[in-house]
């Protein structure tokens, strides 16, 4: 299958803290994603700053990096045909208020910052983000 892709997904601290990781992983599986690798970790703020470097000029950057490093997260490599776009669709809009029914952020997101999941936004970034967390 030529467009079989891998993308990076993170279950963010707000969702792990509420023990939603199993339910969110089940949503991925129900939507045809295969979880190739996964690990539950907590990262340092300096690592979050590197991961979110693309947002370093945004007013919310500091809070975002504090938040991502504030508690355990589950990091996964997801595989599926057109995985990058399919994951963005299943996640829903960045602001849970704008997310449509059936999406993870609609179901579980608390606010624009505590929106339960991260997903790569392009195939190129997916490769970089997978390397960031899983390159040994
Ligand atoms: P995405 O996660 O849907 O790709 P991005 O624009 O890449 O959204 O932003 C990264 C993360 O930064 C979002 O998931 C959200 O947690 C946070 N964020 C984005 N915009 C805002 C904002 O206006 N205020 C606070 N946090 C924000
Ligand atoms: Mg993004």
Domain boundaries, the chain: 4-44+72-133
Residue 2 has pLDDT above 80, yes or no: no
Say yes or no: CB of residue 60 within 6 Å of ligand 1.
yes
Q: Report the residue among 94, 98, 104, 108 best suited for mutation to probe ligand 1: largest number of ligand atoms under 8 A from its CB.
A: 94
Q: Are 49 and 66 in contact (CB under 8 A)?
A: no
- Non-local (6+) Cβ contacts of 47 within 8 A are 69
Predicted TM-score (pTM) of this structure:
0.97
Say yes or no: CB of residue 56 within 6 Å of ligand 1.
no
Topology of domain 4-44+72-133 in CATH is: Alpha-Beta Plaits (3.30.70)
CA 122 to ligand 2 center in whole angstroms: 9
Residue 1 has pLDDT above 80, yes or no: no
What dihedral do alpha carbons 39, 126, 121, 86 form, nearest 10°? -80
d(CA 94, CA 102): 14
Atom of ligand 1 nearest to the CA of 118: 2
pLDDT at 136: 73
């Amino acid at each position: 299958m030529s467009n079989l892709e891998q993308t990076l997904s993170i279950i963010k601290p707000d969702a792990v803290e509420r023990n939603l990781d199993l339910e969110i992983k089940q949503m991925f599986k129900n939507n045809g994603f295969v979880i190739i690798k996964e690990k539950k970790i907590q990262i340092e703020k300096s690592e979050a700053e590197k991961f979110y470097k693309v947002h370093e000029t945004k007013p919310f950057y500091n809070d975002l990096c504090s938040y991502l490093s504030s508690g355990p997260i589950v990091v996964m490599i997801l595989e599926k045909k057109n995985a990058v776009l399919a994951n963005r669709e299943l996640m829903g809009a960045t602001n849970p208020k704008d997310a449509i029914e059936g999406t993870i952020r609609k179901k579980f997101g608390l606010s624009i910052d505590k929106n339960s999941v991260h997903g790569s936004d392009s195939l190129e970034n997916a490769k970089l983000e997978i390397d960031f967390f899983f390159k040994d």
